[in-house]
Amino acid sequence: MTINDIAALTGVAASTVSRALSRPDRVNRVTRERIQAAARELNYVPNTQARALSSGRTETVALLVSDATNPFYFGLIRGAQQQLRAAGHALLLIDTEDSAELENHLLHKVRRSVDGVILAASRLPEQTLSVIAAELPVVTVNRNVPRVRNVVIDSPDGVMQAVEHLVSLGHRAIAYVAGPPSSWANEARWRAMRTAMARHGLTATRVGPFGVSRSSGSVAADALLNTGATAGVTFNDLLAIGILRRLAERGVDVPGEISVVGCDDIFGADFCSPPLTTLTAPIEQAGRVAVSMLLDHLEHLGETASRQTVLLPTHLTIRQSSGPAPRR
Amino acid sequence: MTINDIAALTGVAASTVSRALSRPDRVNRVTRERIQAAARELNYVPNTQARALSSGRTETVALLVSDATNPFYFGLIRGAQQQLRAAGHALLLIDTEDSAELENHLLHKVRRSVDGVILAASRLPEQTLSVIAAELPVVTVNRNVPRVRNVVIDSPDGVMQAVEHLVSLGHRAIAYVAGPPSSWANEARWRAMRTAMARHGLTATRVGPFGVSRSSGSVAADALLNTGATAGVTFNDLLAIGILRRLAERGVDVPGEISVVGCDDIFGADFCSPPLTTLTAPIEQAGRVAVSMLLDHLEHLGETASRQTVLLPTHLTIRQSSGPAPRR
DNA sequence: AACCGGGTGGCAATCGGTTGCCATTAATTG
DNA sequence: CAATTAATGGCAACCGATTGCCACCCGGTT
């Protein structure tokens, strides 16, 4: 079923069919209705590539994640997917395997096949990112680069809440368990942590970096214990869950001997043992907002940006992995 | 950067450039190398839609899942993604939201934009599936329909192992906690369960159907207790984890009073509390295999199918949610 | 009667490749 | 040496839409 079949069937030119379908006001009502009826009857679906070729619009958005198995992205993907479907767009999912080069390469490759991209946890240097954003509509998630629109989850604020929480429980020695150095969010969280600690005249220790997988949790747990801290705030929940497991293995009581606070509130954070105190991030919402920003941008290309940044609030969800500091 | 720019630059016709890039043996070595060098230099990336338009190949595969937030799919997505990237193909992710109509609709819509599709947990009636498979290369996962190639995880065999395990622990009253009736796997597991029980002269009870989310676990847990069974085998881990939680809430000891066995071994199954005894399914492998089958099929269109079905073995992973039957 | 302008719809170019077919040239063979 | 064949590369049609431009029709003005 092509536009030509419909044209032949209804006795009009292909161009008229095209218009009847995409700019209905450009064609007479009766002609239009005849064409639309025929299209419906023949179950016509426009060929995406043909359309893309001439119009330049692919109605497809790429979502780049650094690791498709990281539960953090589950929500993001879901949110993005929802919003995209609502707009009739498709989602191209790309896993960059935590590699900046691969990310760059794949970005280049799909550049012409999508209308825009959403970069979740980009590992790209700021410079590269700017260049790409200049030639392709981009929205980043949890990454703030000048002149690139972005949605960031306010985990720094959350980290401060976490520190307040821990300090009020009597903790004085609190460590930050760091994630990948190339992660923008990682640095932002660490800065927030130091600031929050300084407010109480305390200094934060930092251990890491560690990979963001549960298995890295073992190393991280040992390192954390070694600092002598009575509480740890971790880069993300995956790491935190790994730490909890290792601590259990070593017979360390959580929160009796040490408190652990995660970040993101991913799937599993509420049923691990003990259930994890963590910063609940509106992940799905982040996905939706990112898509909205992107689509909005696409519709108003050339106009001055309405809003470049959206900051999404987080809140601390207290479960059982945090408690009063142990008495000395 | 189009093929024409390269043609102009190297002084050959566009068609020659095209050949140098896609059928290198069709052009002289020195010409070819000159063209390839130029392409590399200009960082040329062929336009996917243009290529698709004329050749019919999009180098894109759609993966339809019934719910993008179900952790079961993450392994699948990952495996598929890996294998696709290796072949230089892209992944279009589609969430059918558990609706057969939506699935059918979206399938129709992307039909022309992909080379083939992988249907994970299709909700489509067998009839519809056959029709679609006839006009579009399809591989199903966990669904066996005549004349449609598929990869199925042998959970029925796993269910039998689970039953053996429970029976050997002294359980006599075992219930199956069912998932969606439209799920092929659900029925297959239930059949396996009855067979395995019958072998020991026992009859299985069945409760459900329940939705496959943790929240459905509450209802399921109550229903399960109500059967008086000392053990339950659940449709999947998500449900099982939900059940564990509800049982804990009600103060029911697992496995002291009742044993619970899940299915799939998703993320979280090993750190919920108690850690879940479950059927470990090679999910990622399933994704890889599904892609391989599809790509293989694409390469040999028209030839008789090499293999229509791949059965992947599962094994029982015993953790702490199963134990000896309580004494009466 | 001549003119004007809005509403319609067709023509044809275009997007960027792919591919069948043919012309040219070089190499091989009887 | 003529004839056949293989290698190479250009021409042009084509994939299925979109879109700028123009022609035509018609009713309304002066």
CB B54 under 7 Å to nucleic chain C:
yes
CB A15 under 7 Å to nucleic chain C:
yes
Q: In the structure encoding, which two tokens stand for residue A68, read together? A: 């498709």
Residue whose C-alpha is closest to residue B175's, from B212, B210, B143: B210
In chain A, whose CA is at the least distance from the CA of B213?
Answer: A267
In chain A, whose CA is at the least distance from the CA of B72?
Answer: A69
pLDDT at B303: 64
Residue whose C-alpha is closest to residue B206's, from B218, B220, B185: B220
In chain A, which residues have their Cβ closer than 8 Å to the Cβ of B1? Answer: none
- Residues shown for chain B: 328
The pLDDT of B14-32, averaged and rounded, is: 92
pLDDT surpasses 90 at A303 = no
The pLDDT of B31-58, averaged and rounded, is: 93
**With an 8 Å Cβ cutoff, are A271 and B268 in contact?**
yes
pLDDT at A308: 86
Residues A178, A183, A187, A190, CA torsion sign: negative
Q: In the structure encoding, which two tokens stand for residue B244, read together? A: 């564990």
CB B48 under 7 Å to nucleic chain C:
no
pLDDT surpasses 90 at B33 = yes
- Residues shown for chain A: 328
B93 vs A93, A244, A245: nearest CB: A93
The three-class DSSP label of residue A9 is helix
- Closest CA–CA distance from residue A196 to any residue of chain B (Å): 32
More confident residue, A306 or B57: B57
Distances (CA, A) of B153 to B143, B282, B286: 9, 7, 7
pLDDT surpasses 80 at B328 = no
- Closest CA–CA distance from residue B102 to any residue of chain A (Å): 11
Q: In the structure encoding, which two tokens stand for residue A321, read together? A: 């992995």
pLDDT surpasses 80 at A234 = yes
- Contact of A244 with A321, CB cutoff 8 Å: yes
The pLDDT of B15-43, averaged and rounded, is: 93
The three-class DSSP label of residue A109 is helix
pLDDT surpasses 70 at B58 = yes
CB B305 under 7 Å to nucleic chain C:
no
In chain B, which residues have their Cβ closer than 8 Å to the Cβ of A217? Answer: none
- Three-state helix/strand/coil letters over B152-177: EECHHHHHHHHHHHHHHCCCCCEEEE
Interface residues for strand D (CB within 7 Å) are A 1-4, 14-15, 18-19, 21-23, 46-47, 50-51, 53-55; B 11-16, 19, 25-32, 50, 53-54
Q: What is the CA radius of gyration of chain A?
A: 25
Q: What is the pLDDT of residues A101-159, one digit of tens each?
A: 999 999 999 999 999 999 998 899 999 999 999 889 999 999 988 889 999 999 899 99
Q: What is the pLDDT of residues B166-214, one digit of tens each?
A: 999 999 999 999 999 888 899 999 999 999 999 999 999 999 799 988 8
The residue type at B241: I
Beta bridge mates, A65:
A95
B205-207, strands of its sheet edge to edge: B205-207, B174-177, B231-234, B259-264, B277-280, B315-317
**With an 8 Å Cβ cutoff, are A45 and B111 in contact?**
yes
pLDDT surpasses 70 at B112 = yes
Residue A241 touches partner B, C-beta closer than 8 Å = yes
Pairing of strands B138-141, B174-177: unpaired
Select from B1, B40, B43, B49 the residue whose CB has the most chain A CBs within 10 Å, as the one to mutate to test that interface: B49
Burial environment of residue B134 by CB neighbours within 10 A (0 to 12, 13 to 18, 19 or more): exposed
pLDDT at B147: 87
Q: Which nucleotide is nearest to A46 (CA to C1')?
A: D17
Residues 6+ apart with CB under 8 A from B82: A95, B284, B287, B288
CA→C1' distance for B40 and C20 (Å): 28
pLDDT surpasses 70 at A307 = no
Residue whose C-alpha is closest to residue A153's, from A319, A294, A297, A279: A279
Kindly report the bases of strand D lying within 7 A of a protein C-beta atom: 7-12, 14-20
The pLDDT of B266-281, averaged and rounded, is: 94
Residue A226 touches partner B, C-beta closer than 8 Å = no
- Contact of B180 with B212, CB cutoff 8 Å: yes
* Secondary structure tally for chain A: helices H, strands E: 12, 12
Which pLDDT band, with edges at 50, 70 and 90, does A254 fall under?
confident
Percent of chain B at pLDDT exceeding 70: 98
State the average pLDDT for chain A: 92
pTM for this prediction = 0.91
- Contact of B185 with B141, CB cutoff 8 Å: no
B112 vs A48, A58, A245: nearest CB: A48
Neighbours of B35 (CB within 10 A): 25
| Residues 112-171 (B) with a CB less than 8 A from some CB of A | 112-113
Distances (CA, A) of A302 to A296, A297, A305, A306: 12, 9, 8, 11
CA atoms within 13 A on the CB side of A182: 15
The three-class DSSP label of residue A147 is coil
Q: Which nucleotide is nearest to B26 (CA to C1')?
A: D8
The pLDDT of A33-44, averaged and rounded, is: 93
Residue whose C-alpha is closest to residue B222's, from B257, B250, B263: B250
Q: Which of A158-162, B226-230, B297-301 comes out lowest in average pLDDT? A: B297-301
In chain A, whose CA is at the least distance from the CA of B75?
Answer: A69
Which pLDDT band, with edges at 50, 70 and 90, does B302 fall under?
low
CA angle B46, B52, B57 (to 5 degrees): 110
Residue A22 touches partner B, C-beta closer than 8 Å = no
Pairing of strands B116-120, B60-65: parallel
Q: Which nucleotide is nearest to B34 (CA to C1')?
A: D9
CA pair distance A312, A73, nearest whole angstrom: 16
CA pair distance B130, A138, nearest whole angstrom: 40
| Cis peptide preceding B209, ω within 30 of 0 | yes
- Contact of A141 with A119, CB cutoff 8 Å: yes
In chain A, which residues have their Cβ closer than 8 Å to the Cβ of B69? Answer: 74-75, 78, 267
Beta bridge mates, B138:
B117
Pairing of strands B205-207, A90-95: unpaired
pLDDT at A304: 62
Beta bridge mates, B205:
B175
In chain B, which residues have their Cβ closer than 8 Å to the Cβ of A68? Answer: 74, 77-78, 81
* Secondary structure tally for chain B: helices H, strands E: 12, 12
Percent of chain A at pLDDT exceeding 70: 98
CA angle B252, B254, B260 (to 5 degrees): 115
- Contact of B63 with B107, CB cutoff 8 Å: no
A71 vs B48, B71, B214: nearest CB: B71
Which pLDDT band, with edges at 50, 70 and 90, does A327 fall under?
confident
User: What beta strand segments (E) does A83-228 contain?
Assistant: 90-95, 116-120, 138-141, 149-153, 174-177, 205-207
CA atoms within 13 A on the CB side of A154: 12
pLDDT at B305: 60
Kindly report the bases of strand C lying within 7 A of a protein C-beta atom: 7-12, 14-20
